[in-house]
Structure 1
Amino acid sequence: MGRKKVKLAWITNDATRRTTFEKRKKGLVKKVSELATLCGVEACLVVYGPQDAVEAEPEVWPSPAETARVATRFNSMPEMYRWRKMTDQEDFLRQRVAKLQDQLRRQDRESRELEVSLFAHEIMAGGRILDDADLNDAMGLMQMIDLKLKQAFDQLQIDQSELLPMMTPLYDFTGNEVLSIVQTKLSISLGEGPLKRTRTTNFVVVNTPSGYNVILGRLALNEFRAVVFTYCQKIKFPVDDKVGGVKGDLLAIQRCYIEMVRSEARTAQKNPRLEVNTIIEKPPARVYEENEEF
């Protein structure tokens, strides 16, 4: 069980304050002793008691004579070295205020990013449209999209100079036009181990919600000289004198399809001109055996 965080405030109870003073003083003496022993440095400690004992002698460590010697050596140093790492109450409060201001700015930035991210998710889910955004929301959305694209391209190790503008319109499965952003060439691999084949193909980055991360078209499949078995959810392609393959996950395919149709249906509620298919029942179950080989 972790220790409870102590609130740094004046202790009003006299008995509790005296007890805390004694405990903290012993801990401070222990830390100074450890510092001197472990690091081989000269150190001393002077502690004055509470305000109700101002006439009492201060407590020193390790001894009055050694403390006086270390203090004399310190006072003999040039003033610029003596005050280099010292701080008073005003400087401490100034540093604390600056730190809190940085934290506040960071919290404001994170809150703004969350608001823009929520607005983007609502647009993608069909709950809102881009016309609902004011100038600040639109600018924040553009900045977030640019940042996400940069992070994605950095993870893919794509140079910005390799991103080419895309002017040709694209259309999704329902015939609606999709906004394309850029196009670039990427290396993709199919298969595993010795039956893996790698090719470079052109990809188009689009700005549209989709249940799919990547869609391989005919040109990409031709690069692999692949043969697609839609019924078996499998792709086969030659690797030297052997045959490699990739087998699809039927459950993942169903989830992607359902998510795509639901997204289109939500968008159609905002735009009645769109025509989409609706799911009236669960997709048909798999009709062939799991262990069947092709």
Structure 2
Amino acid sequence: MARIDNPIIGFSEEDALRLHHPHDDALVVNIRAGDYNMHRVLVDNGSSADILYYPAFQQMGISRERLVPTNAPLVCFGGTRVYPLGVVTLSVTVGDYPQQITKDVVFLVVDCSSAYNAILGRTTLNAWKAITSTYHLMIKFPTEYGVGKLHGNQVAVRECYMAMMEMDDHLQTMNIEE
């Protein structure tokens, strides 16, 4: 295929035809991380970090010796702090050949409950020069051979939402009185 330099990235209504509308779904995708196809990956433009949850880390069979220590805590919604077990660098591939990219991603590995296996934040999205659209539930990014696409999965989004609602440590009731 011929190389394409600086492809123009845009979205059209055609990109949204495969979705059930109306929706307010999060952007949850599948990626190739290392030698594994990873499902339930949240794309979060608001996150400054790329996160890999410890259960996914374990399922991938990655040795704990690959974890590089870090002492920088993550500050979560509500101000709580989570201290990562360490960082691990994994090769991540997205898109369909030949419009795909492979880049190393540095994940903070955290041991806490989540319906997701990982979170991709701004660091990776910027490295990919990716453009996200929550309306289209899609990421588009430039490649040597045109614009690559990564589609969100509405079924996975709803499964994750239900799983999060069922987690005991996320169910907190606030009493509001006059």
Same-fold status (TM-score > 0.5)? yes
Contact 1:169-1:179 within 8 A present in 2 as well: yes
Identify, as 1 or 2, the structure richer in strand: 2
Q: Percent sequence identity over matched residues? A: 32
- C-alpha distance in 2, partners of 1:151/1:232? 32
After TM superposition, list the pairs within 5 Å mapping 1:1-294 onto structure 2. Answer: 152=59, 155-156=61-62, 160=65, 162-173=66-77, 175-263=79-167, 266-267=168-169
Superposed displacement of residue 175, structure 1 = 4.5
Question: Given residue 150 of structure 2, which amino acid in structure 1 is its aligned partner?
Answer: V
Superposed displacement of residue 191, structure 1 = 0.6
- C-alpha distance in 2, partners of 1:159/1:240? 35
Q: Please give the per-residue CA displacement for 1:181-204, whole angstroms capped at 9, x wherever unaligned.
A: 111111101112111100012101
Quickly say closer, same or farther: Cα 1:241–1:194, change in 2 above 3 A: closer
Question: Given residue 118 of structure 2, which amino acid in structure 1 is its aligned partner?
Answer: V
Larger Rg: 1
Question: Given residue 110 of structure 2, which amino acid in structure 1 is its aligned partner?
Answer: V
Superposed displacement of residue 251, structure 1 = 1.4
Q: Secondary structure at the match of 2:88?
A: strand
Report runs of 4+ in structure 1 exceeding 6 Å deviation: none
Quickly say closer, same or farther: Cα 1:169–1:150, change in 2 above 3 A: closer
TM-score by length of 2: 0.58
Question: Given residue 163 of structure 1, which amino acid in structure 2 is its aligned partner?
Answer: L
- C-alpha distance in 1, partners of 2:85/2:164? 20
Quickly say closer, same or farther: Cα 1:174–1:234, change in 2 above 3 A: farther
Q: Please give the per-residue CA displacement for 1:35-76, whole angstroms capped at 9, x wherever unaligned.
A: xxxxxxxxxxxxxxxxxxxxxxxxxxxxxxxxxxxxxxxxxx
Structure 1: stretches of 5+ with no match in the other structure: 1-145, 276-294
Superposed displacement of residue 241, structure 1 = 4.5
Question: Given residue 111 of structure 2, which amino acid in structure 1 is its aligned partner?
Answer: N
Q: Please give the per-residue CA displacement for 1:91-146, whole angstroms capped at 9, x wherever unaligned.
A: xxxxxxxxxxxxxxxxxxxxxxxxxxxxxxxxxxxxxxxxxxxxxxxxxxxxxxx9
Contact 1:171-1:178 within 8 A present in 2 as well: yes
Quickly say closer, same or farther: Cα 1:258–1:171, change in 2 above 3 A: farther
* RMSD, matched Cα: 2.8
Structure 2: stretches of 5+ with no match in the other structure: 1-53
Question: Given residue 67 of structure 2, which amino acid in structure 1 is its aligned partner?
Answer: L
- Structure-2 residue corresponding to 1:92: none
Question: Given residue 221 of structure 1, which amino acid in structure 2 is its aligned partner?
Answer: L
Contact 2:69-2:87 within 8 A present in 1 as well: yes
Contact 1:179-1:208 within 8 A present in 2 as well: no
- C-alpha distance in 2, partners of 1:189/1:248? 15
Contact 1:201-1:223 within 8 A present in 2 as well: no
